[in-house]
Amino acid sequence: MDESKTDRESNRPDLDVIGHGLDHLVEGGIYSVLANQYGKGDFVLAKVVHLNPGVVHVVIFPPSFKHRPGSAELSHLSLAFDGGLNEARDRHVAMTRKLFSLIRPVYVRDEPISDNDLAGFRRWSLMPEKEILEAPTYIEPEANRGVYKRIFLFCGLPFGLLQGIYHYCRDGLVPGVCAFIFGFAIFGAGMVVTQHLAVQKRTRKNKSDLALPQGVTASLSSCPSPSPSPSPSASAFQVAEVEINQGFGDTFALCQQAIRTVKNCRVLEEDFSGGTVEGRVGFSLTSEGEQIVLTSYVIGPEQTGVVIASMPRAGGEVDLGKNFDNVARIVSHLKTACK
């Protein structure tokens, strides 16, 4: 191992100094992600810093970061997850489930690399020098089995407890236990069936829009399988990737148009330098409202990727397929605009 590389590795930043003295953190690679703060979901600016295999850092920037301050002004709030990205992705720590669906790691070869590489600088452009060995190209959707289990528990358990307590106070222990069991099972199962049927209905409605024109490739979380009849994801959190054979500027303009095709969606922010477009759908009789974010990144010359995500504003598990419909509508617009 050469001496210069040894010196660089000895200066590798650790968790305590993330956000201080790292000017590259204010340059690109910054993404808008959903964090659970004060019991309410909201978007924050964040960046993944993949220092070495087995450690993933998440740097969260303060709201003032949108004005692109220098490194001295950055907050040093950060999170560290032991294990690789896939392990961290599976953990139900605040925001990880949403965050790691939007942001993917960069792996560099085990050869002399720059200080920016050591600090986890994000390079989305695939350089001819092959500085990026691997960048996962597909977002694995959440299996319906896990989704239905959460819906069953989170909806059925509170209802069962209320029924059990009521009948226990009124009729005694045995009626209370029976009311809890039946209320839990029936209401939980009912909400699972309701979510499943709603997503299936919206899937049939959008099925005709999923054909890809020339110049666009897409990977929709609700259609992960190449089989003739894929099972759509019933998750309230929906994410899709679209690859468009246009430059970054043209693609970003398409994203600005696409988010406005969602009914009652109010655009909150359009950040060209960060490649993000954010919107919010208001509350309705059948929906608690949704947060939508489109993230654009450069793949190569005249080749741009877009990650589309839609999720409930309050983090609920039952959305009656509304987030699936939002993502499908945006993907459809991007595909149609490229025909």
| Cα dist from 169 to 172, 176, 184, 217, 239, whole Å | 6, 8, 18, 59, 45
Each residue's pLDDT expressed in tens, for the chain with a length of 339 residues: 344 433 333 333 332 323 333 333 333 355 555 555 455 555 555 665 544 445 555 666 655 444 433 334 434 334 444 444 444 333 322 233 233 333 433 333 334 434 443 333 333 332 333 333 333 344 455 566 767 777 888 788 888 999 899 898 988 888 888 989 988 888 888 888 887 787 777 777 666 444 433 334 444 443 333 333 445 667 777 777 788 888 888 888 999 999 998 888 888 888 776 678 888 888 777 677 888 888 877 776 777 878 888 888 766 677 777 888 888 889 888 888 776
Distance CA 187, CA 122 (A): 46
CA 13, CA 78: separation in Å to the nearest integer? 13
Instruction: Kindly report whether the global pTM for this prediction surpasses the value 0.75.
Output: no
CA distance 117 to 104: 15
Phi, psi dihedrals of residue 236, rounded to the nearest 5°: -75, -20
CA distances from 241 to 138, 218, 238, 311 (A): 8, 6, 11, 15
User: Which residue, among 119, 5, 114, has the nearest Cα to 59 in the 3D structure?
Assistant: 119
What whole-number distance in Å separates Cα of residue 296 and Cα of residue 284?
29
Tell me the domains of the chain and their CATH numbers.
3-134 (no CATH), 145-200 (no CATH), 212-337 (3.30.310.80)
- Cα torsion 310, 314, 317, 320: sign: negative
pLDDT number for residue 43: 56
